[in-house]
Structure 1
Amino acid sequence: MKLLFASLALSTLSGVPQAYAQRHQADQDEAFRGRKAGDLRPLRDIEGAIVPQMKRRGADYIGAEYDGGMGRYRLKFMRNGSVIWVDVDGRTGAIVGRAGD
């Protein structure tokens, strides 16, 4: 019985990374299309505006993701062992949310 439960749990969890990877790829494809169509600002422009602000606050830049459903870039920073998320509107470049700050 334990073996059956473990097998079911493992098979359920094995689909999670694949689903995440597919969603992540879809978001990246959408960001590419949006950028190419001129609907989204380039990530480099957004990083150029936000990263220096956060560096002045003592945070180190880790990277960014694009959320196609929200049309936002999410920039990730670390400061004193804490993660800080900065959400930026992909169209305007305006900060629309912050967590962990």
Structure 2
Amino acid sequence: MKRITDPVHGSIQLTSLESDIVATKAFQRLHNVRQLGLAYYVFPAANYSRFSHSLGACHNASRMIDAIAVNGDSRAKEKAEKYRTDLRLATCDLRLATWSFVA
């Protein structure tokens, strides 16, 4: 497990597979893709990247699965754990790197 500190979510834990994906050139390119487009020209502190967004989305997907595991019935809990990795990886926005808002 790898731990990344995020200013919004605090500590985000990544599995070894997720760490390998984050280490790829395609994912690292997301550092340069702005989530909020050209908004930083008007709001200088609006420098949020697709990289940060993807890590936060991955973290929130895990929190949703945890909530299902705590509050759901046994069938929901079983399915949530079965698809945990798939859901977390689906939130890693590599496909948007080529269709970025502002590259």
Q: Give the TM-score taking structure 1 as reference length.
A: 0.32
Q: Judging by fraction of residues, say which structure has more helix.
A: 2
Q: Which has the larger radius of gyration?
A: 1
Higher RCO, Cα 8 Å, sep 6+: 2
- What is the TM-score when the length of structure 2 is the normalising length? 0.31
The structure richer in strand per residue is 1
